[in-house]
Structure 1
Amino acid sequence: MNVFKSLGKLIWGNENNPELVQISSGQFYVYTSSRQSSKKCIYIDSMATIRRTSQPHQYHLAVTRVFEEGEEALQDDDQDLDDERIFLIDQSMRFRKGVSAGATTFTWQGLSADDAELQYEFVCDDETTVFTANNFEITVYQCMYERKYQKSHFTAEEEAFEEFQILSPTMTSRAASTSPGATRAATTKDAPVKHEPVVKKEGVRKGKTAGSKIKHEKQEDDDREIDRPELRDAPAKYEGVAEAHGDLCLFDPMTDLFMEQATNVKCQLVRTGPYKYWLVIAASDETQQLAQPLEPRMNPVFSATNISFIWNYFDDKQQVFSWLVRFANEAALNSFQSVFGQCMYETLHKTSWAKVETADQGYIISSLRDDIDMKDSDSEEGDNDYSDEEEEDVEDEEEEEENEFGSDYDEDEDEDEHDDFNDDQVGDNTINSQLAVGYKDRSFVVRGNKIGVFRHNDRDGLDFSTTIKNISNSKGKQLNPSKIVLHEQDTAMVMMDPTDLNTAYKMDLEYGKVVEEWKMPGTSGVLNLVGDSKYAHTTGTQTMIGHSHNAMFRVDPRLSGSKIVESAFKQYAKGNDFTCAVTTGDGGLAIAGSKGEIKLLNTIGKNAKTALPGMGDPIIGIDVTADGHYIIATCKTYLLLIDALNPANKKLGFNASFPADNKPKAIKLTLQPEHVATMKTEVSFTPARFNTGVNEIEKTIVTSTGPYVITWNFRRVKSGHHDYQMKEYADHIVADNFKFGQDRSIVVALPHDVTALPTRHLTSPGQAFKVKRESRC
């Protein structure tokens, strides 16, 4: 296929549109000497655009400064801002594409009298797909062709554009892979578990979000074999549900690329029985490429940006692989995504999709997309925006901290093992199970019937303080707390014991003894207790909120006998299998269930103001911003971020119902399937949390899976950027949460240790996995 001609209609089709192609985010630099001895940043955030001009066959490359919302208003009205640089596209500008520190770059020479000695560089941000970058590069060459030959490029052969391409030094070794004229090699089909490596130029480099960055690259090591999973037998009897065509790629952790396995494959969804579906992919000659049943751990991700579907495949030995199908167009992607969502819903709910209300159907399907943007409600309300000034304050704090401790400060100091706590457990096979972070200066970790007490030091680290041993009730029976909640300004801890779910135990943390037992009969077993409001534990508030699998209620320890407040007790019909709950700053309650549904209410005993349908996966944890604007719900393989503010009436879902045709926005946060393949284990998230603190703006989300701590920048997530950072430990993580009042430090409980992780130690997945890849070479 002629790459240039195939892109022609897409880029050049609308003659009334002056803009041909655009890269929406990047940094713009200038080198002030030919040796690049002096590099200056012109725009820290900018976009690059190729435009038509009024003259035929003449085009401009424009780099425009991008302002953050409200930033322009801060500029001096009389200041003459240079917010755009324009360059005539000509062969003499020596335009070339390169790679710097993993980022795609475009470099060119100035042509005017004022900048003839200058070299310019545009560095693409992480969110720039390689598909977009390649289109940008190709379009520049097409513009050069038209200017030189004064005729349309559509009549030219593909090789005609190669005269305009200049390989940068960093790209020389990849000439075959980056050349727009490079041809595809043949693919081996009917490959066994180990097969000859695919040497096609097309691959996919991991990127910031669902669908990843597309990287066209030829595999350099032609002799190395690529691991490929064994084929499962496809179902013999089935009913076709959906079919789409595209190119099939398999992720290779060694090269960090998706390597093309077959072109023009047939990607089918088939029904094999009631509420049972399979994904079956066959090559153009009907040779089976893979077959697998639909299941949550597939970790499906759809990217409209890259027109691709990425997912995980687990073989019979539980090895994990990551596959990608790149569809021909966005319409095919959207159609397949919609049917896939319906099939997955029926698989998990064991009920017909037709029974789901129309408004709920849209909410469920939209959560599969990777391009949901929540900025609209933020920009209108503005309460939770993380401003540029705040970002600068954080940077200043980090710089001051570095200066205070000096350049010789050992980053590993904050992660020393607490031998005093470990030594106290000699001969004990129990492991850490629960974590509670106080609002003052202490954190608590449960291990069996003991509680380790740790004090936060002034360097955001942890010092072991003491161990509370032999936790027992009033009759001397040993207790092994399964749930813990700090209470009464962190002077007390309320805990549940799995052997008696109708009783809660209040421990005085100063004495280390259980001082009260709260009886709560008639609930069918209390599963969780939470504060009356998000920061109730920072006050002397006595009452709490509790729930069982089908009831919610208020608990008042001052009552005699049963501690349940009868006027604030709500029993639900069967089917409401509640799993967790959380309260907002003003006492609104969000309660979630085993099928993923979430109820929002402001008064216990009354019907929920808002009921959000579930995706079918149990919600194992839930948190909310103090103002109730955002909810983060944790399922085993993904997080669900929900905007609970109705932009139409500015009311929260806790206080007023959403219109049937305007459900809240939801973002599904997942790990990229290729990262899961590199981790070589399925995802199992711990309950995700926002950073906390009275009057503190929520800026970061933290969770973990296996040995990895994972964080998302909350503001970037709301803007549609789902990139994340991570840190790997030597053991699986039991629990994690931010230190109270900031997001610079995360308390991490491992099976046999407790540590404080400075967030500055987190890195991109690429950096985190670099050691893994190098160790396998």
Structure 2
Amino acid sequence: MNIVRKFMDSGNKYDIISIPSGTFNLLRSKRSPKSSLECIYNASSLSIRENGQYSYDLVVRKVNDDHESNIDDDNEDFSDDSTSVLSLQSKKKKEDEWIFTFDESLQFKKVWNKVGNVTFIWNNYNGDEPDEKVQFVIAPDIPLNDVDEFLQLLYRCHYETKYNRSALKASKTDIQDIELLVNTVEQDEDSSDDEFQDANETMNLRSFKSVLHPPPQHVPKGEQLCLLSAGLYLFDPLEEKFLLQEDPVKVSLTETGKYEFWLAMEGTQLRMGTEVSPNINPTFEAVRLGFIFNYDFQGITLSYMIKFKDINKFMKFQRNWSRCLWMFLNKENWDKLNEKEKQYILDPAALLDKQLEEILTLDDNSASRTESGNSQSEEESDEDDEDEEEHSRMIVSSSSFDDSSIPSTIRSEGNRSLTVAFRNNRSYVVRGDKIGVFKTEDDDNGLEFVAAIKNISGLNGERLDPQNPMLYMEDRSMILSDNTNKNKLYKMDLERGKVIEEWSTGDKNVVQYGPTKKFDQMTAEQTLLGVSQKNIFKIDPRLSEKNKIVQDQSKEYATKYNFSSLGTTENGYIAVGSEKGDLKLYDRLGIRAKTAIPSLGQPIRYITVSADGKWLLATCESSLLLMDLTVKTGKNSGNVGFLKSFPSAENVKTYILKISPEHASYMVTSMKRSIKFTKAYFNTGVGQKEEMILTSNGPFAISWSLSKILANEQNPYTVKRYNSDIIEDNFEFGTDKKVIVALKDDVSLSKIKSFKHPSKSVLIPKENINDFYGK
């Protein structure tokens, strides 16, 4: 890799990274009278050049070669239609470089050609024809690590040009979404680009039995931590089952750098690998002694299963994987943990070990369960038409409270959040600087738009960007925040539709806030709780001081814990989560936590707690954590972790809820972005038991059954797909039968019975199935 930085005068442009060797070609449509492929430079380099703040150019330069000849035989991916008609682009051959301003219109893609060379393709917007493209075929002697280095920088340049801000502010998910976009090939119906056709042929999902695997990958150098033998299977999304690819293969885990690890699979026919990361959606399935994970290739998300020969190998791999993943996520050494923390992190492995015999007995009944499941699917299929008709009557467009006087940029933002009332049948949807009010009808299960609160502003008339709405004081008021004033909260009178109070929190920026007790919004209670990065505090608007924090009912830590979320029970017990992923449980404010739950690696984004404090539900990026907070052993047995700590020999039992890699492959491929859950909720009602969990991912609403989770059912969730992304969804108060869903531009009311067991037909609409499979 040739990395060049020329620190001369500020007026000079410089290359920040380059690939020194490759072939540069012009691609045209089959309908063109000119050659479908025209070689521009047989020897060339490709560079990214800075062109101002957050602006970059792609520069292809001719490399002088006295022996320059026609395209290499190995790179003849496109047929040359005899003699090319002389074009503007042909004349440009005489120039030494081609320059392309880097932006989204380039539609830059990475593919593999027929002979396995990495190839970059992008639009030629200065071409003779509107659908012209160019391609840079990287020379085979360029190491793949150098190509990856180039791409990683390109992803960051893509981010900066798209958002006009530094990539240092980009989250890992932001970069992953761009990476997925660059690696996704979208075939035009009349495209002549054989390179795209080859990508689809390579990943032709109609023939998984003869699927061509990704190009062989070398295992990065490092210390090998684990080496086992297993069978490798690939999930066929058409037949909806795993098909054997090779048996045996060598499966290894290798430490390749500081807190970096690599999973490798090597057989006689294939060699592949991936980094140890939650992004591959790793899942252990004890019934099949299998480890299932996702693998992205050419814009398609595949699901592989490593199936081990016996229990011991399965458990050994599980423990090694858990250690590696924890170190990758936390950037800390495993040896720094105490034994109880290690036991908690490895607890799923220990649980599998203890219950494996019991789980395996379920295999004998799998046939009957499958038959029952098929029968149920047929019944669901019969209800589809009825459900869709009913569903269509329950959608209300958010345009009903749009205002033509509001700038289109604000209107185009779409809906932002959903808040469900407890005392009445109202729901509130934030959209720009206004809030739409909707109501549900018990008689006909309908949903109706009631009113819109527009032009929300502060006491001084400044426009607010309302965030994190929380209903308050018998659902007659709403608490709001604004990103520009993070140490201030706003109280809105819903009947008047105006902000009537502003509360300062002094020098503490409020990260998240919530009711002092779970059902306080149904009462006249005026206090509420909040967290900053290292504080947990109570807010009382009745205080005469400008700062409304109750100082003697607050807890401040010397260390910045990066608190991120909180939740409360009916009795006012408090749970607080952090960006590191750990949780603290309190019976009241101002004292030390009764229970500290160590991190499993992913940041805690939201928390909701059951009314009785027995269950805690934490929302992470790509998983939910369902925690049983009841102490099972010792003198504190029967108490919840808010009141008594767990004995040293017992850990909080945690269920990790994820979309199975098989189902994730459908979702990620169709959405073209990673899984990211919205805030998860229990069904909620005074005196009602929590039975269901609800969240969403992209256009998919997802519901888990607690009873199925506790029964260790394989996929204890159901799914409903909508026509646009879900912003937030929640149960109607007092029931687990009806779900209110805020889509980007609509609001919907659905029955939970319209959710289906996940399958190809549920996850991918029939009209999109051909696009999904690249047909």
TM-score by length of 2: 0.65
What is the aligned partner in structure 2 of residue 547 from structure 1? 531
For 1:321 and 1:496, the matched residues in 2 are separated by: 41
For 1:422 and 1:248, the matched residues in 2 are separated by: 53
Contact kept, 8 Å, 1:370 with 1:668, in 2: the verdict is no
Cα 1:333–1:194 shift into 2, 3 Å: farther
User: Does the alignment pair 1:666 with 2:650?
Assistant: no
Question: Which amino acid counterpart does residue 651 of structure 1 have in structure 2?
Answer: N
Query: Which of residues 259, 282, 288 in structure 2 aligns to 1:306?
Result: 288
Cα 1:565–1:227 shift into 2, 3 Å: farther
What is the aligned partner in structure 1 of residue 688 from structure 2? 696
Post-superposition offset of 1:613: 0.5
Deviation string, structure 1 residues 390-442 (Cα, Å, up to 9, x no partner): xxxxxxxxxxxx9xxx9997342123535523576783222211211001110
Instruction: Please list, as runs of the form range in 1=range in 2, the aligned pairs for 1:131-530 lying within 5 A after superposition.
Output: 226=211, 228-235=213-220, 237-283=221-267, 285=268, 288-315=270-297, 319-367=300-348, 410-422=390-402, 427=408, 428-439=411-422, 440-458=424-442, 459-523=444-508, 525-530=509-514
Post-superposition offset of 1:248: 0.3
Question: Which amino acid counterpart does residue 492 of structure 1 have in structure 2?
Answer: S
For 2:654 and 2:235, the matched residues in 1 are separated by: 28
TM-score by length of 1: 0.65
Question: Which amino acid counterpart does residue 665 of structure 2 have in structure 1?
Answer: A
Cα 1:280–1:245 shift into 2, 3 Å: same
Contact kept, 8 Å, 1:372 with 1:666, in 2: the verdict is no
For 1:436 and 1:408, the matched residues in 2 are separated by: 25
Cα 1:255–1:771 shift into 2, 3 Å: farther
For 1:559 and 1:519, the matched residues in 2 are separated by: 11
Post-superposition offset of 1:457: 1.3
Cα 1:658–1:361 shift into 2, 3 Å: same
Contact kept, 8 Å, 2:315 with 2:353, in 1: the verdict is no
For 1:541 and 1:619, the matched residues in 2 are separated by: 27
| Partner-residue secondary structure (3-state), 1:314 | strand
Q: How many aligned residue pairs are there? A: 534
Cα 1:520–1:656 shift into 2, 3 Å: same
Question: Which amino acid counterpart does residue 545 of structure 1 have in structure 2?
Answer: L
Contact kept, 8 Å, 2:678 with 2:727, in 1: the verdict is yes
User: Does the alignment pair 1:763 with 2:756?
Assistant: yes
What is the aligned partner in structure 2 of residue 50 from structure 1? none
Deviation string, structure 1 residues 71-126 (Cα, Å, up to 9, x no partner): xxxxxxxxxxxxxxxxxxxxxxxxxxxxxxxxxxxxxxxxxxxxxxxxxxxxxxxx
Contact kept, 8 Å, 1:250 with 1:324, in 2: the verdict is yes
| Partner-residue secondary structure (3-state), 1:734 | strand
For 1:513 and 1:196, the matched residues in 2 are separated by: 59
Cα 1:519–1:360 shift into 2, 3 Å: same
User: Does the alignment pair 1:708 with 2:700?
Assistant: yes
Deviation string, structure 1 residues 537-596 (Cα, Å, up to 9, x no partner): 011111101111110001111001211001011111334111110001100001101121
For 1:372 and 1:483, the matched residues in 2 are separated by: 42
Contact kept, 8 Å, 1:594 with 1:619, in 2: the verdict is yes
Query: Which of residues 531, 552, 566 in structure 1 aligns to 2:515?
Result: 531
What is the aligned partner in structure 1 of residue 711 from structure 2? 719
For 1:703 and 1:222, the matched residues in 2 are separated by: 34
| Partner-residue secondary structure (3-state), 2:346 | helix
Question: Which amino acid counterpart does residue 324 of structure 2 have in structure 1?
Answer: C
Post-superposition offset of 1:253: 1.4
What is the aligned partner in structure 2 of residue 139 from structure 1? none
| Partner-residue secondary structure (3-state), 1:326 | strand
| Partner-residue secondary structure (3-state), 2:397 | coil
Post-superposition offset of 1:250: 1.4
For 1:590 and 1:373, the matched residues in 2 are separated by: 30
What is the aligned partner in structure 2 of residue 189 from structure 1? none
Percent pairwise identity = 34
Contact kept, 8 Å, 2:616 with 2:627, in 1: the verdict is yes
Post-superposition offset of 1:687: 1.2
For 1:231 and 1:417, the matched residues in 2 are separated by: 50
| Partner-residue secondary structure (3-state), 1:618 | coil
Question: Which amino acid counterpart does residue 489 of structure 2 have in structure 1?
Answer: A
For 1:454 and 1:736, the matched residues in 2 are separated by: 14
Question: Which amino acid counterpart does residue 662 of structure 1 have in structure 2?
Answer: E
For 1:512 and 1:368, the matched residues in 2 are separated by: 53
Deviation string, structure 1 residues 241-297 (Cα, Å, up to 9, x no partner): 1112111011221221222111111111000111110101101x4x65211111111
Query: Which of residues 605, 630, 647 in structure 1 aligns to 2:590?
Result: 605
For 1:441 and 1:701, the matched residues in 2 are separated by: 20
For 2:479 and 2:458, the matched residues in 1 are separated by: 12
What is the aligned partner in structure 2 of residue 147 from structure 1? none
Question: Which amino acid counterpart does residue 733 of structure 2 have in structure 1?
Answer: F
Question: Which amino acid counterpart does residue 691 of structure 2 have in structure 1?
Answer: K
For 1:516 and 1:371, the matched residues in 2 are separated by: 53
Post-superposition offset of 1:769: 3.2
Query: Which of residues 676, 686, 689 in structure 1 aligns to 2:678?
Result: 686
Post-superposition offset of 1:651: 0.6
Deviation string, structure 1 residues 610-636 (Cα, Å, up to 9, x no partner): 000011111111111100001111111
Question: Which amino acid counterpart does residue 693 of structure 1 have in structure 2?
Answer: G
| Partner-residue secondary structure (3-state), 1:290 | strand
Cα 1:433–1:195 shift into 2, 3 Å: closer
Post-superposition offset of 1:654: 0.3
Contact kept, 8 Å, 2:724 with 2:744, in 1: the verdict is yes
For 1:431 and 1:229, the matched residues in 2 are separated by: 39
Residue segments in structure 2 that go unaligned for 5+ positions in a row = 1-197, 356-382
Question: Which amino acid counterpart does residue 433 of structure 1 have in structure 2?
Answer: R
Question: Which amino acid counterpart does residue 769 of structure 1 have in structure 2?
Answer: L
Cα 1:450–1:356 shift into 2, 3 Å: same
For 2:433 and 2:200, the matched residues in 1 are separated by: 50
What is the aligned partner in structure 2 of residue 574 from structure 1? 559
Question: Which amino acid counterpart does residue 621 of structure 2 have in structure 1?
Answer: K
User: Does the alignment pair 1:564 with 2:549?
Assistant: yes
For 1:292 and 1:332, the matched residues in 2 are separated by: 20
For 2:266 and 2:744, the matched residues in 1 are separated by: 44
User: Does the alignment pair 1:595 with 2:580?
Assistant: yes
For 1:370 and 1:604, the matched residues in 2 are separated by: 34
Contact kept, 8 Å, 1:240 with 1:269, in 2: the verdict is yes
Cα 1:412–1:551 shift into 2, 3 Å: same
For 1:222 and 1:753, the matched residues in 2 are separated by: 39
Could you tell which deviates more after superposition, 673-682 or 637-646? 673-682
| Partner-residue secondary structure (3-state), 1:646 | coil
Cα 1:655–1:271 shift into 2, 3 Å: same
Question: Which amino acid counterpart does residue 510 of structure 1 have in structure 2?
Answer: E
Query: Which of residues 616, 620, 641 in structure 1 aligns to 2:626?
Result: 641
Post-superposition offset of 1:526: 0.5
Question: Which amino acid counterpart does residue 534 of structure 2 have in structure 1?
Answer: N
| Partner-residue secondary structure (3-state), 1:731 | coil
Q: What is the Cα-based RMSD across aligned positions, in Å?
A: 2.9
| Partner-residue secondary structure (3-state), 1:410 | helix
Cα 1:636–1:313 shift into 2, 3 Å: same
For 1:686 and 1:356, the matched residues in 2 are separated by: 31
For 1:479 and 1:408, the matched residues in 2 are separated by: 38
Post-superposition offset of 1:367: 3.9
| Partner-residue secondary structure (3-state), 2:394 | helix
